[in-house]
Amino acid sequence: MARCRLCRPGERRKPAEIYLPAHRLPLCREHFLYWFERHLERTIRSFRMFTREERILVAVSGGKDSLVLWQALTSLGYPADGVFIDLGIEENTFSLLSQRAAEAMARRLGRPLHLLSLRKELGFGIPELRRKTRKICSLCGAVKRQYLNRAAKRLGYEVLVTGHHLDDEASSLLGNLLQWNLKYLAHKYPVLPAERGFVRKAKPLCRHSGKEIQLYAEIRKLPFLPEGCPLAEEARRPFYAQMMEELEEKTPGTKLRFYLDYLRKAYPLLAAHKEEFMDRELLTCENCGEPAVSSPCLLCRLQEEFRARS
Ligand code: SF4
Ligand code: ZN
Ligand code: ZN
């Protein structure tokens, strides 16, 4: 059996229970946790995402990705607090259990968790929006992005971090490349600076695969909610994710190389022209003063619509 590559040569090297094909690395469980957190630290530093002196807010959904991110940042000594949004999805089950998972994690880490509710603050939940559109995930994503940006600024955080990981990033890169979606590609970077009313955003898990995250969550016994959102739609993304997985299985390391080479070789060229690729100008919402592509902004329009209905 292969031995852990990181156990000290002087000691008896433990048998490797884990093998990371993309890194050709056999590891014992203990050194897997060590490797995972060091790999995260290197990502944060190499993309200059944030420092230990800054106020960091983690968008916590209750699922494994965001809990892993929160745990690993805290273990590395980053002062990260959490924010949970109650989306009002099957209130007595999915949203409630998600909130409990987020709260259990906050207790475990001894860190503050901000609890926000779409319905209480804006007058609608995601199920109401579901009745308006079949593409609920893109609308839900847009609502969450804008709401989280507002919340991070209001709560005084310098950077908002999310649990997007390599599988998300590589498969959405592939999908957008196949459609030559230049507007998207020119903004595809794991850290986006604070500008024009947006708080800085970062995706520190962008170099970790979903499998590595799952393993970390299991070994650390994190209290994540295993069920996914019941409103999740069958999108094209899983198809691209599956294609990436097949490539990865044939040639381990492809996913990471594909993504990192994009960031290194193609992103700088596209980013230099990003203003030209924008199809709409960025405005300021006349109602709430937030940056938006239309005025009133999406949240203000929805808020008004549901206020008028009630
Ligand atoms: Fe929103 Fe779709 Fe995620 Fe459910 S799966 S929380 S509807 S984006
Ligand atoms: Zn070891
Ligand atoms: Zn607005």
Cα 8 from chain centre:
34
Structure tokens at 231: 């409103």
Q: What tens digit of pLDDT does each residue of 260-310 get?
A: 999 999 999 999 988 888 777 889 999 999 999 899 999 999 999 998 877
- Same domain? 72 vs 138: yes
Residue 20 inside a domain? The answer is no
The ligand with the least distance to the CA atom of 146 is 3
CA of 7 from ligand 2 middle (Å) equals 4
pTM: 0.95
- Same domain? 77 vs 117: yes
What one-character-per-residue DSSP string does 133-183 give? -S-HHHHHHHHHHHHHHHHHHHTT-SEEE----HHHHHHHHHHHHHTT-HH
Least confident of 45-49, 123-127, 235-239, 269-273: 235-239
Structure tokens at 99: 């909130």
Sequence-distant (6+) residues with CB within 8 A of 79 are 52, 55, 56
CA of 89 from ligand 1 middle (Å) equals 9
Nearest-angstrom CA–CA distance, 40 and 18:
18
CA of 134 from ligand 3 middle (Å) equals 24
Residue 72 inside a domain? The answer is yes
Domain limits for position 220: 28-226+233-278
Structure tokens at 21: 């094909």
DSSP letter (8 states) at residue 294 = S
- Same domain? 286 vs 274: no
The ligand with the least distance to the CA atom of 286 is 3
Residue 294 inside a domain? The answer is yes
Q: What tens digit of pLDDT does each residue of 183-223 get?
A: 999 999 999 999 999 999 999 999 999 999 999 999 999 99
Segments in the chain forming alpha helices (H): 29-46, 64-75, 96-109, 118-122, 126-130, 136-154, 166-178, 182-185, 210-219, 237-250, 254-261, 267-271, 274-277, 298-309
My answer on whether omega of the bond before 223 falls inside 30° of 0, hence cis, is no
Cα angle 286, 131, 175 (rounded to 5 degrees) comes to 80
Residue 33 inside a domain? The answer is yes
Domain count, the chain: 2
- Same domain? 96 vs 243: yes
Q: What tens digit of pLDDT does each residue of 149-164 get?
A: 999 999 999 999 999 9
Cα 248 from chain centre:
21
